[in-house]
Amino acid sequence: MQFYALISCHKSNGNVGQTQSTSMKNILSLFLIIYWIQGQSQDQNALMMTDDAQYFSFWSGKWLLLRDDGSVDSTTFYKVNRSVHDASFFEEWQMGPGNKSIAIRAWDKTNSKWGFVWVSSNGLFQVWDTRKVGKDWYIYKEFDVNGDKYLSRQGFILQENGTVLRISEKSYDGLKWELRFKQILKKAN
């Protein structure tokens, strides 16, 4: 009813200043109503830290790549900081000399899943989907590399000894997965 009243025509009594003033009041009222409606549609509830929302609670810090022989590759690392809430992270990746990227990883309470966005220094921008596999969360993205179309997934999985397994796999049917690579990451002291 109020909205209809705002957009209905008003009568002018010949006073131009009064007509402009009334029009401005109607426009202002319309914006205030739209702002109020938008505010009502947003979730104002606090983030509840469910088990899934706490999945990456180990992830803050600097992580170094362990080579197969157990030595540390200091040219490859991940710097991870908590971001705007307890289940959000800003990540800086250094994948050898000159290969830098950033990522945002965050829990989406509305959809009950993790979100992941990645940007590289060579101009790549990727938005990955996420899925829970067993007890672990993976990021998923479809690729077409020179006609080779496949689904890629990566997991960053905490191990019992405190290291993190970064595993990358690909699938042509979404059922059978081939190992692309795996890395062991160790938290820096």
Segment 86-112, tens digit of pLDDT? 999 999 999 888 889 999 999 999 899
The pLDDT confidence band at residue 39, using thresholds 50, 70 and 90, is low
Q: Would you state the structure tokens that stand for residue 120, as one six-digit string?
A: 């590289």
| Residue 71 predicted with pLDDT over 80 | yes
Each domain of the chain, given as residue ranges in start order, spans 2-41, 61-187
> Residue 34's pLDDT is what?
62
Placement of tokens 């426009």 in the chain: 27
> Residue 145's pLDDT is what?
92
pTM higher than the cut 0.85: no
Q: Which residues pair with 148 in a beta bridge?
A: 145
Name the nearest CA neighbour of 118 among 147, 157, 92, 79. Answer: 92
> Topology of 61-187 in CATH?
Lipocalin (2.40.128)
Contact (Cβ atoms closer than 8 angstroms) between residue 131 and residue 140: yes
Q: How much of the chain, in percent, has pLDDT values that exceed 90?
A: 67
Taking the alpha carbons at both ends of the chain, their separation in whole angstroms is: 63
Average per-residue pLDDT in the chain? 85
| Residue 10 predicted with pLDDT over 90 | no
The pLDDT confidence band at residue 163, using thresholds 50, 70 and 90, is very high
The pLDDT confidence band at residue 1, using thresholds 50, 70 and 90, is very low
> Residue 43's pLDDT is what?
74
